[in-house]
Protein backbone atom coordinates (compact mmCIF):
# COMPACT_ATOMS: atom_id res chain seq x y z
CA UNK A 1 0.00 0.00 0.00
CA UNK A 2 2.89 2.38 0.76
CA UNK A 3 4.22 1.99 -2.80
CA UNK A 4 0.80 2.79 -4.27
CA UNK A 5 0.55 5.86 -2.02
CA UNK A 6 4.02 7.09 -2.94
CA UNK A 7 3.28 6.60 -6.64
CA UNK A 8 0.05 8.53 -6.14
CA UNK A 9 1.96 11.39 -4.49
CA UNK A 10 4.45 11.47 -7.34
CA UNK A 11 1.64 11.73 -9.90
CA UNK A 12 -0.28 14.31 -7.86
CA UNK A 13 2.72 16.60 -7.42
CA UNK A 14 4.04 16.03 -10.92
CA UNK A 15 0.82 16.92 -12.71
CA UNK A 16 2.11 20.35 -13.70
CA UNK A 17 5.80 19.45 -13.91
CA UNK A 18 7.58 19.29 -17.26
CA UNK A 19 7.64 15.82 -18.77
CA UNK A 20 10.77 13.78 -19.25
CA UNK A 21 12.91 10.98 -17.91
CA UNK A 22 15.42 12.81 -15.75
CA UNK A 23 17.61 11.74 -12.85
CA UNK A 24 15.85 12.83 -9.65
CA UNK A 25 17.27 14.69 -6.68
CA UNK A 26 17.61 12.11 -3.95
CA UNK A 27 16.94 12.85 -0.31
CA UNK A 28 20.16 12.95 1.72
CA UNK A 29 21.00 11.04 4.87
CA UNK A 30 23.92 11.35 7.28
CA UNK A 31 25.03 8.09 8.88
CA UNK A 32 28.05 7.89 11.19
CA UNK A 33 29.10 11.40 10.15
CA UNK A 34 29.03 10.68 6.39
CA UNK A 35 26.40 12.08 4.02
CA UNK A 36 24.89 9.83 1.36
CA UNK A 37 22.06 9.83 -1.14
CA UNK A 38 18.91 8.14 0.16
CA UNK A 39 16.94 5.98 -2.26
CA UNK A 40 13.70 6.14 -0.27
CA UNK A 41 11.07 8.78 0.51
CA UNK A 42 10.20 8.57 4.21
CA UNK A 43 8.60 12.02 4.29
CA UNK A 44 6.12 10.90 1.62
CA UNK A 45 4.76 8.39 4.13
CA UNK A 46 4.02 11.26 6.50
CA UNK A 47 2.49 13.48 3.82
CA UNK A 48 0.25 10.66 2.58
CA UNK A 49 -1.27 9.89 5.99
CA UNK A 50 -4.88 10.80 6.58
CA UNK A 51 -5.30 14.57 7.12
CA UNK A 52 -6.73 13.85 10.57
CA UNK A 53 -3.37 12.32 11.52
CA UNK A 54 -0.99 14.83 9.92
CA UNK A 55 -3.14 18.00 10.00
CA UNK A 56 -3.20 18.50 6.23
CA UNK A 57 0.51 17.97 5.54
CA UNK A 58 0.00 17.50 1.79
CA UNK A 59 -1.65 20.91 1.45
CA UNK A 60 0.94 22.55 3.72
CA UNK A 61 3.82 21.15 1.67
CA UNK A 62 2.15 21.95 -1.64
CA UNK A 63 1.80 25.62 -0.58
CA UNK A 64 5.62 25.90 -0.68
CA UNK A 65 6.06 24.19 -4.04
CA UNK A 66 5.84 26.74 -6.83
CA UNK A 67 8.62 25.78 -9.23
CA UNK A 68 8.87 22.29 -10.63
CA UNK A 69 11.57 20.81 -12.78
CA UNK A 70 12.14 17.40 -14.31
CA UNK A 71 14.84 16.63 -11.70
CA UNK A 72 12.32 17.04 -8.86
CA UNK A 73 8.83 15.86 -9.76
CA UNK A 74 7.93 15.83 -6.05
CA UNK A 75 8.99 19.46 -5.67
CA UNK A 76 10.76 18.89 -2.36
CA UNK A 77 13.87 17.29 -0.89
CA UNK A 78 14.39 16.02 2.65
CA UNK A 79 17.57 15.78 4.69
CA UNK A 80 17.87 13.06 7.31
CA UNK A 81 20.29 11.64 9.82
CA UNK A 82 20.59 8.48 11.84
CA UNK A 83 21.37 9.32 15.44
CA UNK A 84 21.32 6.76 18.26
CA UNK A 85 19.64 4.32 15.82
CA UNK A 86 16.82 6.76 15.22
CA UNK A 87 15.77 8.22 11.85
CA UNK A 88 15.45 11.99 12.18
CA UNK A 89 14.21 14.59 9.71
CA UNK A 90 16.69 17.46 9.86
CA UNK A 91 15.64 19.78 7.05
CA UNK A 92 13.13 20.11 4.25
CA UNK A 93 13.39 22.28 1.14
CA UNK A 94 10.93 23.00 -1.64
CA UNK A 95 11.82 23.77 -5.24
CA UNK A 96 15.25 22.07 -5.07
CA UNK A 97 16.06 22.97 -8.68
CA UNK A 98 16.27 26.65 -7.86
CA UNK A 99 19.31 28.14 -6.18
CA UNK A 100 18.90 28.43 -3.31
CA UNK A 101 15.87 26.21 -2.72
CA UNK A 102 13.11 27.43 -0.38
CA UNK A 103 13.38 26.30 3.23
CA UNK A 104 10.24 24.63 4.52
CA UNK A 105 10.02 25.11 8.30
CA UNK A 106 9.60 21.78 10.06
CA UNK A 107 7.40 23.52 12.65
CA UNK A 108 4.53 23.81 10.14
CA UNK A 109 4.25 20.02 10.27
CA UNK A 110 5.57 19.45 13.80
CA UNK A 111 4.65 22.53 15.91
CA UNK A 112 6.33 21.25 19.08
CA UNK A 113 9.65 20.35 17.45
CA UNK A 114 12.70 22.34 18.51
CA UNK A 115 15.17 20.58 16.21
CA UNK A 116 15.37 17.39 14.14
CA UNK A 117 12.14 15.39 14.19
CA UNK A 118 12.03 11.68 15.01
CA UNK A 119 10.39 9.91 12.06
CA UNK A 120 8.05 7.79 14.20
CA UNK A 121 5.57 7.57 11.30
CA UNK A 122 8.03 5.64 9.14
CA UNK A 123 8.47 1.88 8.98
CA UNK A 124 10.20 0.31 6.00
CA UNK A 125 13.54 0.01 4.23
CA UNK A 126 16.00 2.81 3.57
CA UNK A 127 18.35 2.10 0.67
CA UNK A 128 21.65 3.99 0.74
CA UNK A 129 24.18 3.63 -2.10
CA UNK A 130 27.47 2.74 -0.42
CA UNK A 131 29.73 1.62 -3.25
CA UNK A 132 30.92 2.58 -6.69
CA UNK A 133 28.72 3.48 -9.64
CA UNK A 134 28.49 0.51 -12.02
CA UNK A 135 26.09 2.03 -14.54
CA UNK A 136 24.30 5.31 -15.20
CA UNK A 137 20.63 5.58 -16.05
CA UNK A 138 18.82 8.74 -17.26
CA UNK A 139 15.92 8.46 -14.79
CA UNK A 140 15.12 7.59 -11.20
CA UNK A 141 18.16 8.14 -9.00
CA UNK A 142 20.52 8.10 -11.98
CA UNK A 143 22.84 5.21 -11.22
CA UNK A 144 23.28 1.63 -10.10
CA UNK A 145 25.93 0.82 -7.50
CA UNK A 146 27.99 -2.23 -6.60
CA UNK A 147 27.08 -1.97 -2.91
CA UNK A 148 24.18 -0.67 -0.85
CA UNK A 149 23.45 -0.26 2.82
CA UNK A 150 19.86 -1.24 3.59
CA UNK A 151 18.45 -0.03 6.89
CA UNK A 152 15.28 -1.57 8.27
CA UNK A 153 13.26 0.99 10.22
CA UNK A 154 10.35 0.32 12.57
CA UNK A 155 8.44 3.42 13.73
CA UNK A 156 11.53 5.55 13.27
CA UNK A 157 13.97 3.15 14.95
CA UNK A 158 16.71 1.42 12.95
CA UNK A 159 16.40 -2.26 13.77
CA UNK A 160 18.75 -3.75 11.18
CA UNK A 161 21.66 -2.76 8.90
CA UNK A 162 22.66 -4.95 5.97
CA UNK A 163 25.24 -4.39 3.24
CA UNK A 164 24.22 -5.95 -0.06
CA UNK A 165 24.96 -5.77 -3.77
CA UNK A 166 21.23 -5.51 -4.61
CA UNK A 167 18.87 -2.94 -3.15
With pLDDT > 70 as the criterion, what percentage of the chain qualifies?
82
Write down the pTM of the prediction. Answer: 0.81
Which residue in 131, 127, 161 sits closest to 146, CA to CA?
A: 131
The answer to whether residue 137 sits within a structural domain is: yes
The answer to whether residue 145 sits within a structural domain is: yes
Which stretch of 53-57, 81-85, 101-105 has the lowest confidence by average pLDDT?
53-57
Per-residue pLDDT at 141? 67
Q: Helices marked H in 38-164 — which ranges?
A: 42-47, 51-54, 57-64
The answer to whether residue 45 sits within a structural domain is: yes
Bridge partner list, 152: 125, 160
Please give the tally of structural domains in the chain: 1
The answer to whether residue 149 sits within a structural domain is: yes
Q: What is the pLDDT of residues 55-81, one digit of tens each?
A: 888 888 888 888 777 777 788 899 999
The answer to whether residue 16 sits within a structural domain is: no
| Mean predicted confidence (pLDDT) in 99-119 | 92
Grouping H, G, I as helix, E, B as strand and the rest as coil, residue 56 is coil
The answer to whether residue 46 sits within a structural domain is: yes
Residue numbers of the domain that contains 48: 2-7+27-164
Which residue in 6, 38, 3, 44 sits closest to 24, CA to CA?
A: 38
- Does the pLDDT value for residue 97 go beyond 50? yes
The answer to whether residue 153 sits within a structural domain is: yes
The answer to whether residue 133 sits within a structural domain is: yes
- Does the pLDDT value for residue 85 go beyond 50? yes
| Mean predicted confidence (pLDDT) in 11-16 | 40
* Cβ contact 121:87 at 8 Å: no
Amino acid sequence: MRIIGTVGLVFALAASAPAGATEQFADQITIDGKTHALFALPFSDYVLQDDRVNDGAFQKLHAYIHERCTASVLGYRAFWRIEADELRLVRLVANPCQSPPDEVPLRIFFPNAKGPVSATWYSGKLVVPAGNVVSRVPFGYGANYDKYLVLTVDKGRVTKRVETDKP
